[in-house]
Amino acid sequence: MSRIVNDNFGPAGRTTTAVKANAKFTAVATATSSLSEVNVRHEGIDARNLADNYIVVKSIYADNDNSSEDFQYNMVGTYGGAFEVNHTGSSPSAGSGLLLDMSSSPMVLKNNDLLRIFHACVLTQDDGYGRVTQPATDYFMITFPVWDITSASLSNFETLPAHDSDLNNAATTQVDIDLEANKSGGIALYAMTGRNVVSGTDFLMRRNGMSVWHYKHGGADQTIYGIRINANGPYQYVQIGTSVRGWEQVTVSSTGITHVKMSHGHVGALQMRGGQP
């Protein structure tokens, strides 16, 4: 509270004294040192008074230029493993991929900030490299966001909080899913089978995956230098135990698909502040 509560001089017609005048302006000085909502007129602040980005602190976006030739991943007779969804063409430059590069201007999450990472991609079976005709074999690929919170060199991308670290393992691994340390929000799944409705006729498998990861940051400031979309697979959904489900890595040869393309992808991140419960 910083209202001024002193009274008028009085009675009318008398000459003021320096002591009384000083008391009044001391009250002004006191009030202005702790201005609060009681000093500001109701709805008195306009948009022009607000600094930029007072709700959306930072937003960043990248896509792959909508080229169907981007992000080709050749799965030749091996298990999969995590890999970057990179661009292989000439525009944009090779290697940029679905990367949000914030190394020159990092995102700094403060306590209670809301971070939203959304991404989508299209997985296409490369026609001519095998096709799948068994709809009951539930093979799938995944894409997921990872972040680099180590340095601006963007050389240490790691899984997001509460994701199984094996999600981003380049070796053959199994991803656990539970309700504690191995949550699975923000991960997009791409089915790898379709149905060859006419025997001997080529068909093109094409799947659209998308997901959003919502995260309320708690604690000390967290600097994020980069966010990237990685992929992994092929997987098969399995029961591991009584309380754990998982995605088990399967061989590429068992899927019948040796080449896939990840295309038409985009990734965006939104940092919002001031709405915490």
Partner 1 sequence: MTYKWTEGSQRTNALLDSDEVNREYNNYKNVLNGGIDRENIPLNAVTDLHLKSQAFWSYDLTRGIQPGLSTGVTHITYHTYHGGWRTDPASARTLTLREGMLHVDFSCWFQFVQLHPANEQRWCRFQLLLDNSVIARTGKDYSYVGNVNLSACVPVAGGAHTVDMQWQFTPPAVATAASTDAFFFSGGQLLINNRYR
By CB under 8 A, the residues from 185 to 224 that bind partner 1 are: 185-191, 193, 207, 209-214, 216
Any contact of residue 38 with partner 1 (CB under 8 A)? yes
Structure tokens at 230: 């990685």
Q: DSSP characters for 170-227?
A: SSS--EEE-SSS---TT-EEEE-----SSTT-----EEEEEEEEEEE--SS-EEE-EE
Any contact of residue 57 with partner 1 (CB under 8 A)? yes
**x-or-dash string of contact with partner 1, 116-135, rule CB under 8 A:** x------------------x
Candidate list 19, 33, 34, 41; residue touching partner 1; CB under 8 A = 41
Q: State CA 141 to chain mean position distance.
A: 19
The minimum distance between CB 254 and partner 1, in angstroms, equals 16
Structure tokens at 62: 């990248």
Any contact of residue 19 with partner 1 (CB under 8 A)? no
CA–CA distances in Å: residue 236 to residues 2, 138, 191, 249, 277 = 65, 6, 10, 6, 39
Q: Which is nearer to partner 1, 152 or 272 (CB)?
A: 272
Q: Which is nearer to partner 1, 8 or 90 (CB)?
A: 8
**32: Cβ contacts below 8 Å, ≥ 6 apart:** 2
Candidate list 183, 206, 259, 266; residue touching partner 1; CB under 8 A = 183
CA–CA gap between residue 164 and residue 152 (Å, rounded): 24
**x-or-dash string of contact with partner 1, 61-100, rule CB under 8 A:** ----------------------------------------
